[in-house]
């Protein structure tokens, strides 16, 4: 599993001439880093702010951030697996008509699976950004830049997921699958983008307006 590798090893493997792990796994890792920073802000704030309402609210946000972090980290591996499935499908024999039909079907299934992973990443990014809105509003002022970096990581992960989902969709012939996913991608992308901009604007306002 990629998450068991050292940070250096993961970077080396990314930089190698093997296409996986690539942009999809890196996007999922960025999201995981964003969720981790969200958890950090919750924990630090809870340790410093005795207000019971904030304690209870952040405890619940923390639990959700940690669940999301776990899912994001799983997607680091899932994306690499889904990508390899596409490569494997392309390598299937196509000498007979039957083989060729089987190969085409396998390629289509693999591309669908390789679309579902970044679309799931996008959905989870939308969940994460909703949590980070609370984190950035209730978080201790000393951790606001961390909340900001969390938002930036989720934002970058979202855009990476959009690129990966769209490139896989471009290879899929099932038009209803394409249409449903395209609508979902556009909607999730604009949710995450709009929220990110709003939250970062507020963070900058809280930090730098005197």
Q: What 3-state DSSP class applies to 72?
A: helix
* Integer angstrom CA distances of residue 69 from 120, 122, 156, 181: 13, 13, 15, 24
Q: How far apart are CA 72 and CA 21, in angstroms?
A: 14
In contact, 76 and 21? CB cutoff 8 Å: yes
Please give the size of the binding site for a copy of itself, defined by CB under 8 A. Answer: 62
Q: Which of 51, 60, 100, 142 binds a copy of itself (CB under 8 A)?
A: 142
Q: How far apart are CA 139 and CA 40, in angstroms?
A: 10
Q: What 3-state DSSP class applies to 95?
A: coil
* Residue 134 sits in the site that holds a copy of itself (CB under 8 A): no
Q: Which is nearer to a copy of itself, 112 or 162 (CB)?
A: 162
* Residue 80 sits in the site that holds a copy of itself (CB under 8 A): no
Peptide bond into 174 cis (omega under 30): no
* Residue 148 sits in the site that holds a copy of itself (CB under 8 A): yes
Single out the segment in contact with a copy of itself by CB under 8 A; choices: 14-22, 51-59, 102-110, 173-181.
Answer: 14-22
In contact, 206 and 143? CB cutoff 8 Å: no
Shortest reach from residue 4's CB to a copy of itself, in Å: 6
Q: Which is nearer to a copy of itself, 76 or 112 (CB)?
A: 76
Which residues 6+ apart lie within 8 Å of 147 measured at CB?
37, 38, 41, 132, 135, 136, 139, 199, 203
Shortest reach from residue 172's CB to a copy of itself, in Å: 14
Per-residue x/- track, 159-178, a copy of itself (CB under 8 A): xx--xx-xx--x--------
Shortest reach from residue 57's CB to a copy of itself, in Å: 17
Q: Which is nearer to a copy of itself, 102 or 200 (CB)?
A: 200
In contact, 83 and 149? CB cutoff 8 Å: no
Q: Which is nearer to a copy of itself, 7 or 52 (CB)?
A: 7
Q: How far apart are CA 69 and CA 10, in angstroms?
A: 18
Q: What residues line the site for a copy of itself (CB under 8 A)? A: 2-8, 10-12, 14-19, 22-24, 26-27, 29-30, 32-33, 35-37, 39-40, 43-44, 47, 65-66, 69, 73, 76, 142-146, 148-150, 152-153, 155-156, 159-160, 163-164, 166-167, 170, 200, 203-204, 207-208
């Amino acid at each position: 599993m990629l998450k068991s590798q050292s940070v250096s090893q993961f970077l080396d493997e990314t930089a190698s001439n093997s296409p996986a792990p690539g942009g999809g796994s890196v996007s999922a890792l960025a999201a995981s880093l964003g969720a981790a920073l969200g958890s950090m802000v919750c924990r630090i704030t809870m340790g410093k702010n005795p207000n019971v309402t904030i304690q209870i609210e952040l405890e619940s946000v923390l639990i959700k951030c940690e669940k999301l972090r776990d899912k994001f980290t799983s997607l680091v591996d899932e994306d690499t697996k889904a990508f390899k499935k596409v490569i494997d499908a392309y390598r299937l024999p196509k000498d007979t008509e039957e083989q060729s039909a089987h190969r085409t079907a396998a390629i289509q299934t693999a591309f669908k699976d390789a679309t579902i992973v970044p679309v799931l990443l996008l959905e989870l990014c939308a969940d994460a950004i909703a949590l980070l809105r609370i984190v950035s509003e209730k978080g201790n002022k000393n951790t606001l830049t961390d909340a900001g970096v969390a938002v930036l990581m989720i934002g970058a992960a979202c855009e990476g997921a959009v690129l990966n989902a769209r490139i896989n969709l471009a290879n899929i012939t099932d038009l209803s699958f394409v249409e449903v996913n395209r609508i979902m991608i556009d909607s999730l992308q604009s949710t995450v983008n709009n929220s990110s901009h709003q939250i970062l604007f507020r963070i900058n306002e809280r930090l730098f307006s005197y």
